[in-house]
Amino acid sequence: MSDDPFEAIKATFFQECEELLADLEGNLLTLESGSTDIEVINAVFRAVHSVKGGAGAFGLEDLVRFAHVFETLMDELRSGRKPCDDPTVKTLLRASDVLADHVAAARGAGAPVDPARSAGLVAELEALTYGGTAPVAAAEPEEDDFGFTPVAMDLGAFEAPAGLPDLPDLPPLPDLAALAPLSAPAPLPDLSASAAAGGWKIVFRPHPRLYASANETGLLLRELARLGPTRVELDDSGLPLLDALEPTDSHLIWTIELDGDASEAEVREVFDFVEMDCDLSITPLSGDGPAEAAPTAVEAESDASALARAASSELDIAALLASVGAAPTEAPAPVAATPVVAPVVDPVAPPPVAAKPAPAAPAPVQAAPAAAAPVTIRVDLERVDRLINAVGELVIQQAMLAQRVTESGLARSSDIGLGLEDLELLTREIQDSVMAIRAQPVKSVFQRMPRLVREAAEATGKKVKLVTSGEDTEVDKTVVERLSDPITHMLRNAIDHGLEGPEERLAAGKPAEGTVRLAALHRSGRIVIEISDDGKGINRPRVRGIAVERGLIAEDAVLSDDEIDNLIFLPGFSTATEVSDLSGRGVGMDVVRRSIQSLGGRISISSVLGKGSTFTLSLPLTLAVLDGMVVGAGEQTLVAPLAAIVESLTPSEADIHYVGGVDPVLRFREAFVPLVDVAQAMGFRDQPAALKGAVVMIVETESGQRAALLVDAIHGQRQVVIKSLETHYRHVEGVAAATILGDGRVALILDIDALVTAKRSRTPSRSDLQMAS
Amino acid sequence: MTPIEQTLSPNVAGTDRELIAFRIGEQEFCVDIMSVREIRGWTPATPLPRSPAYMKGVINLRGVVLPIIDLGARFGLQTSAPTERHVIMVAHVGSRLVGLLVDAVSDIVQLSDAAIQPTPDVASEQVKSFVKGIFAVEGGRMISLIDLDHVLPESEAEAA
């Protein structure tokens, strides 16, 4: 974490961006599925708006510019001026991809955004924003969900900046020409009103929260004053007497009249960061603002409020600012300062008073209620891990204590025994809860996939629909993080190799649009990820041919369908005749399989020709604990991962044979599997184990090969906390990790695959020969 | 400074660094006291397969899987099987924590860097690669200052 506070804030911003972008995409997908819920559209708008706001604060101009165009279109959609139809949503989805790219580029995490792509989408978005709809639509009364005072002048707002080249976040307005005809036939009252741009009347009523988040009303007023000459009135009628005064409450209302030709956007920009914490109404001074009933705005003002203005203008703004700045903390100050204004404004000048109720009654800014999100906190992962470690120790200590008590001969029914039992239950509960902290829904990975599918579909010219399910399935954070690459790869594979092109699909009697399913579910203590397509399935003769061609299998090898399907996991296998840039980049399914295996998972495939293929990943829910079989070998206690064990049995001498008189194999159900003496393989013993009393565990490696592990005894099954050997030492061949058993001793967890393959690759040693003799 | 350290420390002059001295067989070595986290008695270790002879295995140090290095064997000295009288010095080596098996901890020494002499050429290459320098203490004893950075096997090179 950086020491620079600005960098820290920026990091937080990007973190939030990630969440916002995820929300954005999720909501867009909801829209794509046909929802027209205004809340969803609002949520999209808010997400884009927040990204833009934050980006503005950090001066990320490219991002701001793009977000602005996006936001403008969203504004049109949420106001109902533009229909939220399918093509629009499709464009929005692609725009959200580019927005994500902009964010990544701004963060320095991604390549700079292709300007042509960005510009292309900007043009598309603008075309949707400005084009197509008749100007009549703009004149329709607007419902503004954000509770801003009805403005009815978006077109005007866009016109104004034409004369204001200094507005930073507006696009270069290529549509100005297209806009002109809209305003030209213009007896439209709204447009003319806004075009006058004679200034703004701003009623600003801060909420207590505004002060609480350390905002200064004084600074805001000063900002406004920078846009043009201002007249500021302070309404302190809400201010209670001193003894009833709650210093942290907000009692003051400002009415600011801003002259000059500042655009509404500029005015709003001043309030950009406090918008949510105040009641704000911005109405054109000269226009027929909703509350103003005066015949001619300008005249009304000169007459009725002249006195008020005279009075208020006497107040030096600086003096006002000074008292305002002190308002939240030193309430008495404004009390002393304002009486001068108050009596003048109230009795004498009805028009401003008439205008004043506006902020009080309608238009609360929080019109769009935030979706009831669960309350969450951000916690440094390191802290969570420390807690998990400590709980791991607790579990071990508890087990040790229990063992000592048993050893000391105390009865289970004794008070201590009963207390220990409760302790054990509690410990388990704590452990489960702590593990749950690290558990995360796979949603964060799944959410990235629609984009990937869109891009893959575009690149291959296929039509693809992605259907996901089980996004809320939870799994350890480390597992979630490392799922992304394999899923990405397999989805691309499904689209590139699995699905057929539209014509081919139609010819096969399938819908032109292919379906790829991505599902997550819990199954017997593991998480299962399924990726299936309704494509052509695996072409077994072809797969076989390629495997033979690449020398992966012998030409005359007899393989079952399953075995042929599994050939695609072999290193160096790629069925794509041409190397496309999607998949087939040399790294194939073998890489996927390896990365899954490194997580303690398995991958399998089933396929029906012409119907499609399904890849199934099965992974442990956590990498912190493991279900293991505690075994003894050569006076050492070892743990074998339960997931790898198929069954255990007591071997008989007659079942053991020696291949070439050297390598021992065990006859197991009509098949011969290599026999590995664990104690010997681990170097605990030179001599082969006496077969008498020994036990064999049949294990299956991740690649599906079986082997028999010979151990002295099986002690039982238990859950163990995984401790890495690498933390303080280094990787040890044949050892996956270590754990601490109930007696406080360290036990090694076997790396089954390494044991089995090491056994096979080794040249026969003397001890093997002895065993053979 | 605790009274114990004072009684243990014959060389109070020029106290630039504090070293903890220990015995392996008849020889005395020392390491910087700041790198030693704790000293504990020997407990049987779980052996690791395919490890060099000086790797005694791993023990459970309050939940930490701690590798134990027989320092004498690492230096190429004669060592006997560890007994309960042997001592494990738990020391930081870089970001890692290792247990160093030695015969006994003998002293805490304070001396200035100036008192440390370079290792003479008579020492064997293996010892020299671990010894940063030597110095004399009262009673004519000679103590070798150990560089702990090299006691752990180079993880990449040897694991490959």
Asked if A119 contacts A85 with a C-beta cutoff of 8 angstroms, the reply is no
**Own/partner pairs, A739-743, CB within 8 angstroms, 24+ separation:** A739/A626, A739/A628, A739/A639, A740/A396, A740/B60, A740/B63, A740/B65, A741/A396, A741/A399, A741/A630, A741/A637, A742/A396, A742/A399, A742/A400, A742/A402, A742/A403, A743/A400, A743/A403
Distance from CA of A679 to the nearest CA of B (A): 9
Contacts of A738 in chain B (CB under 8 A): 46, 58, 65
Task: Please give the DSSP secondary-structure letter assigned to residue B151.
Answer: T
Q: How far apart are CA A739 and CA A746, in angstroms?
A: 6
Pick the residue with more confidence: B67 or A125?
Answer: B67
Q: What residue spans of A297-343 are helical by DSSP H?
A: 297-304, 306-314, 317-326, 332-337, 341-343
Residue type, A252: L
Note the maximum CA span of chain A: 119
Mean predicted lDDT score pLDDT of chain A = 73
Quick check: helix, strand or coil at residue B126?
helix
Q: Is the pLDDT of residue A724 over 70?
A: yes
The answer to whether A735 faces chain B, any CB pair under 8 Å, is yes
**Cβ pair B152:A396 closer than 8 A:** no
**Contact A735/B49, CB-based, under 8 Å?**
yes
A218 neighbors A325 (Cβ within 8 angstroms): yes
* Residue pLDDT, tens place only, A252-263: 888 888 887 777
Q: A137 pLDDT band (50/70/90 cuts)? A: very low
Q: How many other CB atoms are found less than 10 A from the CB of residue A687?
A: 12
A695-712 CB burial, b ≥16 within 10 A, e <16: bbbbbbbbbeebbbbbbb
* Cβ–Cβ under 8 Å, residues A638 and A750: yes
User: Which one has a higher pLDDT value, A423 or A754?
Assistant: A423
CA angle B120, B122, B128 (to 5 degrees): 65
* CA angle A560–A566–A572, rounded 5-degree value: 130
Span A693-718, mean pLDDT?
84
Question: How close, in Å, is residue B44 to chain A by CA atoms?
Answer: 9
- Residues on chain A touching B153 (C-beta within 8 angstroms): 730
Side-by-side strand order, sheet with A278-284? A230-235, A253-258, A200-206, A278-284
A396 part of contact set with chain B, CB < 8 Å = yes
pTM score of the predicted model = 0.50
Of residues A684, A723, A731, nearest to B65 (C-beta): A723
Distance CA B145, CA B18 (A): 11
Instruction: Tell which wins on pLDDT, B19 or A588.
Output: B19
Interchain proximity A727–B51, CB inside 8 Å: no
Residue A371: the pLDDT is 53
* Separation of first and last alpha carbons in chain A: 63
Query: From CA A15, how far away is CA A107, in angstroms rounded?
Result: 10
- C-alpha distance from B24 to closest chain A C-alpha (Å): 23
Q: Residue A662: pLDDT above 50?
A: yes
Tell me the per-residue pLDDT of B68-78, one tens digit each, with 9 for 90 and over: 999 888 888 77
- Count helices and strands in chain A by DSSP H and E runs: 31, 22
Sequence-ordered strand ranges (E) for A158-317: 200-206, 230-235, 253-258, 278-284
Which is more confident, A600 or A457?
A: A457
What pLDDT does B154 receive?
58
3-state secondary structure of A154: helix
Q: Which residues, in sequence order, are CB contacts of A496 under 8 Å at separation 6+? A: A456, A460, A576, A580, A582, A583, A584
Tokens of A17: 């961006």
Residues of B with CB under 8 A from a CB of A: 44-51, 57-60, 62-67, 96-98, 152-153, 155, 158-159
What angle, rounded to 10 degrees, do the helices at A38-57 and A5-32 form? 160
CB–CB of A725 and B97 under 8 A? no
Q: How far apart are CA A604 and CA A703, in angstroms?
A: 9
What pLDDT, on a 0 to 100 scale, did the predictor assign at position A467? 92
| Statement: residue A109 has pLDDT above 50 | yes
* Beta-carbon separation of A748 and B159 below 8 A: no
Candidates B43, B46, B56: best to mutate against A (most CBs of A within 10 A) is: B46
pLDDT value of residue A675: 87
Region for A749 from its dihedrals, namely left if φ exceeds 0, alpha if ψ lies in -120 to 50, beta otherwise: beta
- What is the chain B residue with the closest CA to A738? B65
Q: Which residue from A633, A579, A572, A624 is spatially nearest to A599, judged by alpha carbons?
A: A624
CA terminus-to-terminus distance, chain B: 46
Report how many Cβ contacts below 8 Å link chain A to chain B. 78
Here the ipTM equals 0.80
Give the separation between CA B92 and CA B61, rounded to whole angstroms: 14
Contact A746 B58 (CB under 8 A): yes
Q: What's A369's DSSP letter?
A: P
Q: Is A734 in Cβ contact with B50 (below 8 Å)? A: yes
**Model pLDDT for residues A8-58, shown as the tens digit of each residue:** 778 878 888 888 888 888 888 888 877 777 888 888 888 888 888 888 777
| Residue A735 to residue B48, Cβ atoms within 8 A | yes
For residues A575-592, give the mean pLDDT.
Answer: 54
Does the pLDDT value for residue B63 go beyond 50?
Answer: yes
Higher pLDDT, A486 or A272: A486
Closest listed residue to residue A502, CA positions, set A466, A464, A538, A453: A464
How far is it, in rounded angstroms, from Cα A291 to Cα A202? 13
Contact between chains at A636 and B152 (C-beta distance less than 8 A):
no
The one-letter amino acid code at A322 reads A
Per-residue pLDDT, A483? 85
Q: Could you tell me if B91 and B35 are in contact, meaning their C-beta atoms sit under 8 angstroms apart?
A: yes
pLDDT band at A284 (very low <50, low <70, confident <90, very high): confident
Contact at 8 Å (CB) between A494 and A582? no
Nearest Cα residue to A84 out of A44, A129, A31, A134:
A31
CB B131 within 8 A of CB B74: no
C-alpha–C-alpha distance, residues A452 and A461, integer Å: 14
* pLDDT of amino acid A177: 43
How far apart are alpha carbons A235 and A254 in whole angstroms?
Answer: 6
pLDDT in tens, A348-357: 444 444 444 4
Residue A270 DSSP SS3: helix
Answer whether A681's CB lies under 8 Å from A673's CB: no
Nearest CA in chain B to A678: B49
Neighbours of A385 (CB within 10 A): 15
CA distance A192 to A186: 7
Q: Which two tokens stand for residue A606?
A: 């089933």
Residues B49, A393: C-beta atoms closer than 8 Å: no
Buried/exposed A63-87: b ≥16 CB within 10 Å, e otherwise: bbbbbbbbbbbbbbbbbeebebeee
The predicted-structure confidence for A668-690, as pLDDT tens digits, reads as follows: 887 888 888 888 888 887 777 67
Say whether residue A682 is in contact with chain B using an 8 A CB cutoff: yes
Question: Do β-strands B96-102 and B64-70 pair in parallel, antiparallel, or remain unpaired?
Answer: parallel
Residues 6 or more apart whose CB falls under 8 angstroms from that of A302 comprise: none
Burial class of residue A735 (count of CB atoms within 10 Å of its CB; 0-12, 13-18, 19+) = buried
The candidate with the shortest Cα–Cα distance to B146, out of B112, B114, B100, is B100
Identify how many contiguous H helices and E strands chain B contains and give both numbers.
4, 10
- Dmax of chain B from CA atoms? 49
Residue A504 DSSP SS3: helix
A702 or A773, greater pLDDT: A702
